[in-house]
Structure 1
Amino acid sequence: MGPSQIPPPPSGGDAGDRVVVTAEEHAEYRRLRHAADVRHRRARHIGASVLLLITLLLAPLAVVAAWVDSEVSDTDRYVQTVAPLGTDPAVQSAVTDRLTNRVVAEVNVEAVTQWLGEALADAGAPPAVVDRTGALAGPLRAAVTSAVHRVVNRVVTSDTFAQAWDAANRRAHAAVVNVLTGSRSGAVRAEGDKVVLDLGTVVDEVKKRLVDAGFEKASAIPAPDRQITLFESEELSRAQAGMRLLDILGVWLPVLTVVLAALTVWTAPAHRVMLLITAAGIVVMMVVLLVALAVVRRVYLDAVPASTLPPDAAQAIFDTFVRFLRDSTRTLLVVAVITALAAYLYGPGRVARGVRTLSARGTTAAGHGLRRVGLRTGAAGQWLDAHRSWTTGVVVAGGVLALVLWNYPTVGAVALVLGLVLLVLVLLAVLAAAGGPATAAGEPGGARP
């Protein structure tokens, strides 16, 4: 093998100069270059693998952290979570039974029967009748229980109870948030290590109502000490620090996970393949999270004594509290499946090529059909045809942005956005086909638009 020529370094000599090397030197050059390429690709594979592992481990934690943060810090979200419990039949039944037992427990049935026996004795009733009044305790308790149960059930199943349930949960949650965040608004708030109740609003409202009722001198009532310290604890500052940490994790942990996923795909030598692997891994992790929720549900239901809470009520409470977590997990699972499917369809696989060919034929036939009836897109269609990759990227990015800006997206929202993205892509492909030269069969002479 004769000598070879390789170009010199850019800084050396005239641009037309060549350095003559032997075949052995050229082979060594190629071997070293190949080894450098192999080391570079290996480093990228290792880096992408590490990033992928971290991303997959953080994915379920990010979903849980975002859900917990929304439930703890967002009063509207919390009320939306617990609102169905106020109208759930199992929960209503449990509340009715609990309230009925509390009311009946305050009724001294034995004292009533004793009083009845004494009254009958004073009235001259036969001793046998007086002695049998004690046997009335059981039927009397059952009658009281039945009557109280009907009244309580009527109240609990009414719309008034559902409204009171929502209002009570809203007030309680807002008070807790004020304490944990150190907010200065609201009646219950934190000041240092103290939790105080501000009675100013209540006092002002009472004075106003008294004046409206005709007690004009009530406006002169002096304002007492408006703050009452409910409790003081050194643990309050730790709870507030935990709340701040949760707020940070709930917002930034999902962002960090998305950034790591993007870095994983960018670092890998084969971007499409790594996108497919990352999406498939997230699908697996979301399935694991759903399985973990099912296991926790079983453990919770087994741990709740039936004497404390009926099984159907405990089941309703657990399912209601975690339903938004399940929804978020399923939504991310569907998004990951769609991403993996898109990455596969852009690949060289036989099925992927077949799908792309079939869709191209369909949109091309539709575009040519528009041209045959005189609907030509002209230069605009030709521009769309020449910039298909750009327009596709813009449409897909728009769909992703819509999901990011969507407040708590669901599987239905993902399906809606996906349908709109596919519809726009098909429409753009048809318009692009309607603007190109007329080469389809049946178009005379292949006339240009």
Structure 2
Amino acid sequence: MAPRLRLRPRSRLRHALSAVLIALACLLTPCGTLAAWAAYALYDTGRYVDAMAPLAADPRVRDAVADTVRDGVFSHIDPGPAPGATRLFVHDAARSFTRTEAFRAGWDAANRTVHDAVIRALRRPPRADDHRPVTVDLAPVTARVRHQLARDHVPFAHRIPVQPTPVTVLGAAEADRLRRGYHALDVAAVWLPLAAVACAVTGIAVAARRRRAVAAAGLGTALGGALLALAVAVGRRLTLAELPGTVHGPAAGAVYDALTATLRTAAWLLVALGLAVALVSWLTGRVRRRTPAVPAPGTPGELSDPPSRL
């Protein structure tokens, strides 16, 4: 009994260390997934444009664009004696334009131009004297739309003026804050997943009962994925609730869903992977308990060869 008593503190220490490492791995997994999504999906211009491209056919986005065009036109013209009919005509014309190939080409070009300008500004190393807003010139977008309209034989399309149109995307203070966050996120996207894997492997390796440790790691990963999916849903509600009244709510919701589609998929993949690992570990334990052990030759309980008679 003395040797068994001396081993108990060591087993408890291994159990506690394994539990801490596995819990830390399960905590780092959703954080690492979020950081990797932001660094490699949200900040990749090509993926961003691909995610936003289907929204050009979304009715909520087209309604928001038509409303914006209508309000912009009426801020510069006099509607005349029949403002209601004129507003309806302008809105229908803008709504019809959103169904054309020119609108889809302009939508992709505008998203690419704006996103590329923001990412170049965020990747620029921070400097003490760099407090400038992020601006983009939408003249190339206008030129592309005009070219597409001319190809579609739209009357007077070639007369659309193409002039420098600078638009402020981010203010100076917002750009500085996002630039610092981007560099921190770029580091976290690499090291958080590696730290999660290292903690999980180490926690399983030092565990006194490794099968239970594997099951716990799987359940913890599934829980982390579920919490990540819940955070995306809560973030959507909070984001839409904090939008100013001038922003089209349904269109903003469609944009949020398009940008977080990859993150939601990754969250549910974590849930599926974690549950699968836990289930396999549990089934393996049950099979081993039901399988009778085969005693080794010469062990107690096995009949040895009868002694030879002299």
Distance, in Å, in 2 between the alignment partners of 1:232 and 1:151 is 33
- Which residue of structure 1 lines up, in the alignment, with residue 157 of structure 2? none
Match 1:100 to one of 45, 70, 76: 70
- Which residue of structure 2 lines up, in the alignment, with residue 151 of structure 1? 93
Distance, in Å, in 2 between the alignment partners of 1:236 and 1:296 is 22
- Which residue of structure 2 lines up, in the alignment, with residue 308 of structure 1? 246
Q: How does 1:228-377 map to 2 (within 5 A)?
A: 239-304=178-243, 307-348=245-286
Between Structure 1 and Structure 2, how many residues are aligned?
Answer: 260
Q: Give the greater-gyration-radius structure (CA).
A: 1
Match 2:9 to one of 18, 39, 46: 39
1:194 positional shift = 6.7
Distance, in Å, in 1 between the alignment partners of 2:238 and 2:174 is 30
- Which residue of structure 2 lines up, in the alignment, with residue 409 of structure 1? none
1:165 positional shift = 1.3
**Which letter maps to 2:222?**
V
Q: 1:159 to 1:179 in 2, by over 3 A?
A: same
1:323 positional shift = 1.4
The answer on 1:58 being equivalent to 2:28 is: yes
Q: How does 1:105-254 map to 2 (within 5 A)?
A: 105-109=75-79, 112=80, 137=81, 140-182=82-124, 193=130, 239-254=178-193
Q: Give structure 1 stretches of 5+ with no counterpart.
A: 1-29, 113-136, 184-189, 203-229, 355-449
- Which residue of structure 2 lines up, in the alignment, with residue 81 of structure 1? 51
Contact in 2 for aligned 1:51/1:264 (Cα 8 Å): yes
Distance, in Å, in 2 between the alignment partners of 1:156 and 1:58 is 43
1:72 positional shift = 4.4
Q: 1:80 to 1:271 in 2, by over 3 A?
A: same
Contact in 2 for aligned 1:81/1:324 (Cα 8 Å): no
Q: How big is each residue's C-alpha offset from its partner over 1:65-103, in whole Å with a ceiling of 9 and x where there is no partner?
A: 111112443111222222222221111111111211221
Q: How big is each residue's C-alpha offset from its partner over 1:162-183, in whole Å with a ceiling of 9 and x where there is no partner?
A: 2221122112212222222228
**Which letter maps to 2:95?**
N
Q: Which moved more, 1:338-347 or 1:91-100?
A: 338-347
1:310 positional shift = 4.3
1:146 positional shift = 2.2
Q: 1:234 to 1:148 in 2, by over 3 A?
A: closer
Give secondary structure in 1 for the equivalent of 2:269.
helix
Distance, in Å, in 1 between the alignment partners of 2:108 and 2:217 is 41
1:299 positional shift = 2.9
Give secondary structure in 2 for the equivalent of 1:347.
helix
Contact in 2 for aligned 1:70/1:78 (Cα 8 Å): no
Query: Structure 2 length normalisation: TM-score?
Result: 0.73
Q: How does 1:406-425 map to 2 (within 5 A)?
A: none
Distance, in Å, in 2 between the alignment partners of 1:309 and 1:61 is 30
Query: Structure 1 length normalisation: TM-score?
Result: 0.52
Contact in 1 for aligned 2:224/2:270 (Cα 8 Å): no
Q: 1:320 to 1:259 in 2, by over 3 A?
A: same
1:242 positional shift = 3.0
Distance, in Å, in 2 between the alignment partners of 1:191 and 1:165 is 35
Q: 1:295 to 1:152 in 2, by over 3 A?
A: same
**Which letter maps to 1:316?**
A
1:315 positional shift = 2.6
Q: 1:53 to 1:78 in 2, by over 3 A?
A: same
Q: Give structure 2 stretches of 5+ with no counterpart.
A: 141-167, 292-310
Distance, in Å, in 2 between the alignment partners of 1:94 and 1:295 is 24
Distance, in Å, in 1 between the alignment partners of 2:228 and 2:46 is 25
Contact in 1 for aligned 2:114/2:136 (Cα 8 Å): no
